[in-house]
A and B are shown apart, each in its own frame.
Chain A
Amino acid sequence: MNRLNIEEPTDTPGQLLAPGVRHAIGAVALVALAALALLGLWGAPPDDRQGEAMRLLYLHVPSAWLAYLAFFVTAVASVLFLWRRTRSMVWDRVAGASAELGVIFTGLTLVVGALWGRPIWGVWWAWDARLVTTAVLFFLYLGYLSLRRIPGEPEAAGKRNAIAALIAFVDVPIVHFSVEWWRTLHQKATVFNPELSAKIEGVQALTLWIAVIAFTLLYLYLLDRRYRLAVLEEGQAERELEQAIRERTGDAVAGVTP
């Protein structure tokens, strides 16, 4: 049953989603990603003004959405961990798993954005509010992940991680606001603008929506897998500790007996 032969924790679930649900989400995500690749590369027409570079936005927009979603989930999970009534290692693992995905997708957002910016804006990088906020976000959570890697007694480390996540989260709107004041050049949000009416239409809009759905499902799937990995890592660390204790006490006993 358990290929890695690692003891399962008994107090918390070993995975987030039931296997059936996970397989379903994974399958739909795969189909949606394939549809996105087909539509994004061939199905959708090139943009009137942006030409073929427009296709990069089918990756850029959902990545950015996922990054912000992931950091939001990290913040919520951190609050749930800090709140005594809902405190559980489940939330600590969810926070860590989500932040890791967030950092990956923030990185992807920045790279794809730069590739798009070069032909459209004429520059790889612009000192605009959303770009700078995203870059700061990347480093904020990179620091958070480094902090998480340092082991400690689970509850104390969990508290430390959760507070660090919230300190970072509170900073995000301040960073955004301050940079926006400083300068703004980025085009206004297209899909997620206040009126919620997309300015792009037809196949382009459809492709973008499929991209957002595909990435969100992918996020759920990866979140569950990363959570599972965290459970296995904890089991492994515990086993190694137990073995080390056994070896030491064994040595001590051997030393005492004549």
Chain B
Amino acid sequence: MSLWREALLVAGKDLRIEARSRVALAQILPFGIVVVLLFAFALDPDRGVLARVAPGLFWIAVLLAALLAVGRSFAVETQSNARDGLRLAGLDGAAVFLGKSGAIATELLGLELVLGLGVVVLYDVEVHGLGVLVLAALAATVGVAATGTLYGVLAAGLRLRETLLPLLVLPVLAPVMLGATRAFEDGLAGAPGDAWPWVALLWIFGVLYTGIGVLAFGSLWEND
């Protein structure tokens, strides 16, 4: 079986679990929307502050929700020793990494779509430069999913993982937060030319951490 086929199987498994358990849909997505609402309470919606800082708020909401998605992705494996089963299936570690991060990325893209609509409606944002926005969001999502999956397996099975994961993941994602926010700002301001370097940075980050994951995930996965 090729690497990609194995990866697709793992991704399919994770997405099927989410489709049936509805945790992503019924808990993580509403959490993201609540965060978007909270920002409106914190920053007065009448003074136009929200529309100005919408890209940053959007990405903070996405990152916070991503933490839950990563935690969930590895919590699934601890139930009924699913992790051992997956290990015994003889899949390549790289395939498991690509599959799990692919599933997380798919969930996040769905989440971003809904939160994006929410931000447009609630924060009164006018959308320009949709192409740049989509490419930036794709790149950022790849980076977030890859980093999250890497740290997810690092912390999986450890006690204290719920509190440890955010501290590990969020600082590493600082460049993604910065790049995605700037790209969105430039895109929304109708200056996509300024956004491209940020989109490139986001892609470099995403490819780099996906590469590290492909190389390192196997030995972490087989560990302990």
Interfacial residues of chain A within 152-169, with CB under 8 A of chain B in the complex: 152-153, 156, 159-160, 163-164, 166-168
Which of A's residues lie within 8 Å of B, judged by CB? 132, 136, 139-140, 142-144, 146-147, 150, 152-153, 156, 159-160, 163-164, 166-168, 170-171, 174-175, 177-179, 181-182
- CB neighbours (8 Å) of B179 from chain A are 178
Q: A160-B154, A167-B172, A178-B175 are in contact. Are A146 and B220 (CB under 8 A)?
A: no
B224 touches A152 (CB 8 A): yes
Given contacts A147-B164, A163-B220, A170-B212, contact A140 B171 (CB under 8 A): yes
Does A140 contact B172, Cβ atoms closer than 8 Å? Answer: yes
Q: Is B174 an interface residue (CB 8 A)?
A: yes
Is B80 an interface residue, CB under 8 A from the partner? Answer: no
Report which of A139, A160, A166, A179 forms a contact with B167, defined as CB distance below 8 A: A139
Number of A-B contacts (CB under 8 A): 83
**A residues in contact with B223, CB < 8 Å:** 156, 159-160
A167 contact from B160, B178, B212, B224, Cβ within 8 A = B212
Please tell me if the beta carbons of A142 and B154 are within 8 angstroms of each other in the complex: no
Contact with A along B191-224 (1 / 0, CB 8 A): 0000001100100110011001000100110011
- B219-A142 in contact (CB<8A): no
SS class, residues of chain B in contact with chain A = helix
Which residues in A have their C-beta under 8 angstroms from that of B168?
143-144, 146-147, 164
CA distance A153 to B212 in the complex (A): 23
**What are 14 A-to-B residue pairs whose CB atoms are below 8 Å?**
A139-B171, A140-B171, A146-B164, A147-B154, A147-B164, A147-B168, A152-B224, A163-B150, A166-B212, A170-B208, A171-B172, A174-B175, A174-B201, A181-B201
How big is chain B's contact interface, by range? 20 to 34
| Nearest B-chain residue to A176, judged by Cβ | B175
Q: How far is the CA of A177 from the CA of B178 in the complex (A)?
A: 11
The answer to whether B159 has its CB under 8 Å from any CB of chain A is yes
B residues lining the A interface (CB < 8 Å): 147, 150-151, 154-155, 158-160, 164, 167-168, 170-172, 174-175, 178-179, 182, 197-198, 201, 204-205, 208-209, 212, 216, 219-220, 223-224
Of the listed residues A142, A153, A174, A177, the one surrounded by the most CB atoms of chain B closer than 10 A to its CB is A174
Shortest Cβ distance from A150 into B: residue: B158
Residues of A contacting B159 with CB < 8 Å?
150
- The smallest C-beta distance from B198 to any residue of chain A, in angstroms, reads 8
Q: Are A181 and B197 in contact (CB under 8 A)?
A: yes
CB neighbours of B212 from chain A (8 A): 166-167, 170
Known: A147-B155, A160-B154. A182 touches B216 (CB 8 A): no
